[in-house]
Structure 1
Amino acid sequence: MPAAAAPSAHSPAVAAAPERAPGRATVSEVATAWREGPVFVDPDVSDQLSDVQARDLSQEIQESDKAIFVAVLPATFTDDVDRTMNDLRGDTGITGLYVLRIGDDLHVRADRSVLSPQATQNLQSRFQGTTPAADQLSGLVGNATQNMGGRAPASWSAREGVPGSTWLGLGIAAVVVGGAAYTLTRRTKNRRAQAQREALDKLRVVVDEDITAFGEELERLDFRPSEPGATDEMRGDYERALDAYENAKSLMDHAGKPEDVREVTKALEDGRFALAVLDARRDGRELPVRRSPCFFDPRHGLSVADVTWAPAGGAPREVPVCAADQARLEQGEAPEIRTVESDGGGRRPYWEAGPAYGPWAGGYFGGGLLPGLLAGTMLGHMMMTPAYAADYGSAEGFGDGGAGGGYEGGDVSGSDFDPGDFGGGFGDGGGFGGGGGDFGGGF
């Protein structure tokens, strides 16, 4: 039977449909083809993904250097998707992200070491129903490559037919392969650097708003070190607040990558606490206890209590809130939530706007507190992926992203894998739907 898309010397390998008798492809055939290339298209549904589109998708995957396996199959391929997915994973024997388009339905599974179950489920939900198939699969791959860990299997870049009779042939092959590897690595690095620049530009807008808000707080306080009644303690508080303000501006001016923003917002929070202490001293009130800022908007200042709250479709959790938001919640009103520009366009709560806001939130709340606060949100899911730490830096308390050790993407693990570690997600499916931000696009 003809190949789904034939590779050439100048195009990425596309998995060919093996020669077989008429009828549906088998799990073994798909798995065998995947070990040679990332994209398999059953000839019976080649109208869904053309040869050119399959080659483009394969190139996108290989340039990302991620272990993503895509198959476009007829609706009759299987009646038991979960079992078939597990069989495909076992027969392919490579840790990674597995994507099946069976008829018009999308199914996504991944080894936990490359992508968390919740993130995998979100990925499937985000692109389910997208048409045409080329747009669906390209969009899915583009988002997944920015968030998953691991690397592509070595078998995709292996080249057969290198003459073994002369060292000249081997030398030429080495140059070709080395040049291709260099080009691929350079493209991947350039893409990542560009994405990080775009993420930092997005963060600058939000951080500038925070710095401006803190500067306005300094002005409203209207403290003069020489005013009557001013004490050395008050002057020390004020100096710490001013230092934090200047430090935050300087740190942001010199920020070179998104994770640098964590120190900026940490400085702002230090300064805001110093102002709260100063304000209490001037009024003769009891000095405030150091608490996290308001979860809904850190510009609201120190929290005064922890209240039970749940994001849309998510599980309840305790979050620190300011006095104003506490009163709103007690009266059945919505809190004043900080919204920012999201990856998908439009303004969204910062915890649903994209992974770039992780470092920003990390400076305010600290790594140990964030996982619980953000559980069930898109930002929380992103922070639990191996790729997040690589692109945005790890934060205290995040752990290993739930990978639990073991194989990374692209490693040959054979059929000896835990099916419970290979799934499409769980829980509330938060983070997507309703036109929310992309799975992490743009960084």
Structure 2
Amino acid sequence: MEWILLLALGAGAAGAGRRLVVRRGARRDARAELAGVRHLAEEDVVVFGEELQRLDEVVGDHPLDADARRDYQTALDAYESAQRAVERLEEVAQVSRVADVLTTGRYALACVRARVEGTPMPAMRTPCFFNPQHGPAATEVLWTTGRLGTKRVPACSQCSARVANRETPEVRTVYDGSTTVPYWEAGAAYEPYRSGYVVADLARAMRAGYGGGGGAF
């Protein structure tokens, strides 16, 4: 009977060891996924900050009316809010917050530029599907992807022109293992990021506003 008890104890210990290894592996994978998503969001925040710097050069000494100042403040608030959101990322799902904030900021930035340059105001659209860093879309185009199938997607002027000319648009890519793939084809960890841009409700985001500087629409 003792040997049966020893076998049972041994099997139980082995099972517990395997479960421990699985849990450690899951935690390691979760940390790696979070690091990848955080890096993606950090890059987007940096690019948006560079866009704000370029906007300063465009604005220069140009006097801004009340609407332009409001848009400008909204863009600045969005940048600061996105920075804070990235710093506080603890789960991959939280990256959708960064996407929403940057959507608001990019649209506000485009509005400032249009007011200063005297060009038509941009439509309140979600960002360019191919690369959200391009800012608000100008139109929609038909596009086929392995994950999403064929559908109409928002595209900026540059990307829509490339699609019309049967050229490959500039696509935002991420690392999936050792290879780079379009962000919408990445693994499940990027789903919150992907959804944040593909189905972002820009009107809702603009009404809600971000940051504490009074830039809400």
Sort the Cα spacing of 1:187 and 1:275 in 2 relative to 1 into closer, same or farther, 3 A: same
In structure 2, distance between residues paired with 1:339 and 1:191: 26
Query: Retained in 2: the 8 A contact 1:302–1:322?
Result: yes
Sort the Cα spacing of 1:205 and 1:261 in 2 relative to 1 into closer, same or farther, 3 A: same
Sort the Cα spacing of 1:304 and 1:200 in 2 relative to 1 into closer, same or farther, 3 A: same
Segments of structure 2 that go 5 or more residues without pairing to the other structure are 1-6, 202-217
What is the CA deviation profile of residues 222-254 of structure 1, one whole-angstrom value per residue up to 9, with x for unaligned ones? 269893431121111111111110111111111
Decide which moves more: 225-234 or 205-214.
225-234
Sort the Cα spacing of 1:226 and 1:337 in 2 relative to 1 into closer, same or farther, 3 A: closer
Sort the Cα spacing of 1:313 and 1:253 in 2 relative to 1 into closer, same or farther, 3 A: closer
Aligned partner of 2:87 in structure 1 is 253
Aligned partner of 2:133 in structure 1 is 299
Q: CA deviation at 1:198?
A: 1.2
Name which of 311, 315, 319 aligns with 2:153: 319
What is the CA deviation profile of residues 118-171 of structure 1, one whole-angstrom value per residue up to 9, with x for unaligned ones? xxxxxxxxxxxxxxxxxxxxxxxxxxxxxxxxxxxxxxxxxxxxxxxxxxxxxx
Q: CA deviation at 1:11?
A: 3.5
Sort the Cα spacing of 1:267 and 1:331 in 2 relative to 1 into closer, same or farther, 3 A: same
Instruction: Give SS of 2:90's match.
Output: coil
User: Are positions 1:233 and 2:67 aligned together?
Assistant: yes
Name which of 316, 339, 351 aligns with 2:184: 351
Aligned partner of 1:398 in structure 2 is none
What is the CA deviation profile of residues 311-348 of structure 1, one whole-angstrom value per residue up to 9, with x for unaligned ones? 259732111111111111111111111111103x2111
Sort the Cα spacing of 1:318 and 1:243 in 2 relative to 1 into closer, same or farther, 3 A: same
Instruction: Give SS of 1:307's match.
Output: strand
In structure 1, distance between residues paired with 2:147 and 2:58: 49
Instruction: Give SS of 2:61's match.
Output: coil
Aligned partner of 2:111 in structure 1 is 277
Instruction: Give SS of 1:310's match.
Output: strand
In structure 1, distance between residues paired with 2:59 and 2:169: 36
User: Are positions 1:265 and 2:99 aligned together?
Assistant: yes
Aligned partner of 2:41 in structure 1 is 207
Query: Retained in 2: the 8 A contact 1:306–1:321?
Result: yes
Query: Retained in 2: the 8 A contact 1:197–1:257?
Result: no
- Identical pairs, percent: 36
Segments of structure 1 that go 5 or more residues without pairing to the other structure are 1-7, 13-58, 64-179, 369-443
In structure 2, distance between residues paired with 1:226 and 1:335: 32
Query: What do you get for the CA RMSD once the two structures are aligned?
Result: 2.8
Q: CA deviation at 1:219?
A: 0.9
Query: Retained in 2: the 8 A contact 1:328–1:335?
Result: yes
Aligned partner of 1:198 in structure 2 is 32
Name which of 174, 190, 194 aligns with 1:361: 194
Query: Retained in 1: the 8 A contact 2:111–2:121?
Result: yes
Query: Retained in 2: the 8 A contact 1:309–1:316?
Result: yes
Aligned partner of 2:123 in structure 1 is 289
Decide which structure has the larger Cα Rg and report it.
Answer: 1
Name which of 144, 147, 162 aligns with 1:328: 162
Instruction: Give SS of 1:201's match.
Output: helix
In structure 2, distance between residues paired with 1:364 and 1:314: 14
In structure 2, distance between residues paired with 1:287 and 1:225: 16
Q: Report the residue type matching 1:348 in the other structure.
A: V
Aligned partner of 1:400 in structure 2 is none
Aligned partner of 2:205 in structure 1 is none
Instruction: Give SS of 1:222's match.
Output: helix
Query: Retained in 1: the 8 A contact 2:123–2:138?
Result: no
Q: Report the residue type matching 2:193 in the other structure.
A: W
Q: Report the residue type matching 2:55 in the other structure.
A: L
Structure with more helix by fraction: 2
Aligned partner of 2:210 in structure 1 is none
In structure 2, distance between residues paired with 1:363 and 1:203: 13
Query: Retained in 1: the 8 A contact 2:128–2:137?
Result: yes
In structure 2, distance between residues paired with 1:342 and 1:331: 29
TM-score (norm 2): 0.78
Q: CA deviation at 1:192?
A: 3.6
User: Are positions 1:216 and 2:59 aligned together?
Assistant: no
Name which of 174, 178, 182 aligns with 1:340: 174
Q: CA deviation at 1:195?
A: 2.3
Aligned partner of 2:142 in structure 1 is 308
Q: CA deviation at 1:270?
A: 0.7
